[in-house]
Copies of this chain bind each other. A is one copy, B any other.
Amino acid sequence: MQTREFFVSAPGKVILHGEHSVVHGQVALAVSLNLRTFLRLQSTSSGEVHINLPNIDTFLSWEITALQPLLAGCKEQGGLKDLDADLLKRLREFTRISEDSTDTRSMAVLAFLYMYLSVFAESLASITVSVWSELPTGAGLGSSAAYNVCLSAALLSARGNISNPLTPQQESARWSKEEMELINRWAFMGEKIIHGNPSGVDNAVGTWGKSQIHTSFYLFIIKFMLHHFTLFITGGFLRYHAGNITPLSWVPVLRILLTNTKVPRSTKVLVSGVKDKINKFPSVMKPVLESVSAVSCVCEQTLIEMAERGPSAEHYNILEELIDINQHHLNVMGVGHSSLDTLCRVTLARGLHSKLTGAGGGGCGITLLRPETDTTVIQSTVEELKACGFDCWETSIGAPGVQQHSSAALSQHILKILSSY
């Protein structure tokens, strides 16, 4: 153990364009969201491992001596390899989380214990990990990836596998490119535990988010090659073989409203509904997927131009038009919802343009704010959206990726939550 107390944070993600059509081989744009997950790691001498997840009312601890036997059968301890299905199986037995449990608490505990045991395999350390997030869970905002990125960065740093980049003078610091690649790969392992076969996009956005060197931000272009696309409807998982995740050149920060309609939806049902619709009306639906892909590409070009030449009103007009077009296309795919129509109508009444982000059928939407959008307009929009029963945050996209923080860098509110345990 190199440190007594350690703070890290990682951003969420939103899909700007290309949700659903990405499943069918088209281009999508994902971007980091400035709603973050914060983690505090303390090294202790208790002989115990504690995990505190106040967002989901989960506070658990284990004796290290009880955990040690779980590592007995591991072939290659501490290394980053493919997911060790045997270890995961033993963990499920140990925690009495059955094979078909996929609830947030169970998955968070499994990912933590798996990562802790793998990273500290050579010598299990007494630690207390507390995680608190601004991100709602299960809303398609990459909350699990932000959690896994925080766990990965904190555990690897605490174990000494990567540096402890924060100098006494700094409030926040980031790791080297190589270290961030390691963080990302371990976070992806956590994502596999939680999601079965994740695309790798969420953890990439959570890790890289913002370039450390440049003052503008990364977008990620996801190109799913889908050589072996397989959809297991009956198995309860959407499985696909993801292709390239390409970081985009520098793009401007965009202010947004993020709205959670809180209408529950099943991503699996929505994805299979889109697939059914494509099979039912291929001649109608395939051009729609192509058009969505073109929306992503035009958006990418526009963002690059905004970064290169400076943003203009016309750039924002284009971004707004693309948002409207894609929202209509998502409605054509059948993943709209009356709550999302309400979001679009309420914001458009103030000249603001919105689209769903993620799976749709409820869930979250984003509203682009223009540089000149007045604070009073934003406030009244947020109020009206909250009056509709929605949660609503004024935030931005293009947030920094995973960071280490000094305690001074954190708000009193967050510090208080993380230090309660």
Contact = CB atoms under 8 A, between A and B. Distances in A.
A407 interface: no
Given A328-B329, A328-B331, A332-B329, A298 B284 contact: yes
The 5 closest A-B pairs by CB, nearest first: A287-B287, A283-B294, A287-B291, A287-B290, A328-B328
A297 interface: yes
A328 B332 contact: yes
22 contacts: A281-B298, A281-B325, A283-B291, A283-B294, A283-B297, A283-B298, A284-B291, A284-B295, A285-B291, A287-B288, A287-B290, A287-B294, A288-B291, A291-B291, A291-B332, A324-B331, A324-B332, A325-B332, A328-B328, A328-B329, A329-B332, A341-B345
A122 interface: no
Contacts of A345: 341
A295 B332 CA distance: 12
Interface string A84-103: 00000000000000000000
A325 B322 CA distance: 18
B321 A294 contact: no
Interface string A145-161: 00000000000000000
B284 A325 contact: yes
A300 to B, nearest CB: 12
Given A331-B328, A332-B329, A321 B287 contact: no
| Chain copies in complex | 2
Nearest to A289: B287
A321 B321 CA distance: 24
Interface string A388-401: 00000000000000
A288 B281 CA distance: 14
Interface in A294-308: 294-295, 297-298
Contacts of A328: 328-329, 331-332
Contact of A281 (B283, B290, B294, B329): B294
A281 B332 CA distance: 19
A284 B294 CA distance: 5
A322 B334 CA distance: 12
Q: Among the interface residues A284, A321, A322, which one has the most CB atoms of the partner chain B within 10 A?
A: A284
